[in-house]
Amino acid sequence: MGWELWARGPVERTLDSVWPLLASWEKSTRPAQARLQAYLEEVTRGLSPLPEAPHLYLHMDIDVEEPERLLRHYDLENYLTPLFGRRWLPPERFALVSARKRVGGGSHIECGPAERRARAVGEWSHFAMNAGSGATERRWKENLARLGESSPRPVPPGPAAVRLAWRCSSKRNWTMLWKTTGDAMGPVLGVADPRQPFNPNDDRIVDLELHRVADDSLGHDVVVEMWWRAA
């Protein structure tokens, strides 16, 4: 499709010595939820005020500390999604959100202007489609099941790198597309239970980039593009 994607520009905000937390769906009165809220307040305060550039990036390096945590649980998308929302970071300011898992080196968050770059090429496998409208409905995710019909090359066992991009209206909260799209990647990441095709082994993604390409001519439609390879 010839999209322009994004790259990290100069670092303008940095948070070192952070302890990233995963999304929590527990009640607000539970200790895990209280810890998450305190962490999100700390990150939002530490990155404020956001740089004034029209398109921003946010990147996280996440130290999972133990080798067995690198490919089991600790999904990168579940670290990124809680950072954005009405009380936290405004998703419409960001064109690129990325994260990497590692063992050792500590965790780190940085933010700055996103810069335009050419699309991913080379050894990446690729899939693209217009998934249509109704992105909050199950049928939208089922549309992405066409990935499996395209005879994609699966990522070999072990760590994976994934790039996801959405061309959509500038008015859309694009963070709501992250999990739904990732849930459709079972044909390339594998699934633990074939009866649950939308529960992929996405915990083995150690390098993740999420890109937004604003295109108001699409209306309610969302065009999705995916790249993947062994990390």
- The per-residue pLDDT for range 171-226, each reduced to its tens digit, is 999 999 999 999 999 999 999 999 999 999 999 999 999 999 999 999 999 999 99
Which candidate, 53, 61, 39, 69, places its Cα nearest to that of 10? 53
Q: Angle 218-148-143 (CA atoms, 0-180°, nearest 5)? A: 35
- Architecture of the domain made up of 4-117: 2-Layer Sandwich (3.30)
pTM summary value: 0.95
- For 46, 48, 52, 99, 144, the CA distances from 178, given in Å and listed in that order, are 24, 24, 25, 13, 13
Residues 6+ apart with CB under 8 A from 118: 4, 5
Q: Which two three-digit tokens encode residue 51? A: 């740089």
Which candidate, 184, 178, 219, places its Cα nearest to that of 94? 178
CATH 3.60.21.10, domain 122-230, yes or no: no
Q: Angle 208-213-214 (CA atoms, 0-180°, nearest 5)? A: 145
Q: Where in the chain is the domain with CATH 3.30.1330.70?
A: 122-230
* Span 139-158, pLDDT tens digits: 998 999 899 999 999 999 99
Q: How confident is the model at residue 4 (pLDDT cuts 50, 70, 90)?
A: confident
User: Are 70 and 206 in contact, with CB atoms under 8 Å apart?
Assistant: yes
* Span 122-142, pLDDT tens digits: 689 999 999 999 988 889 989
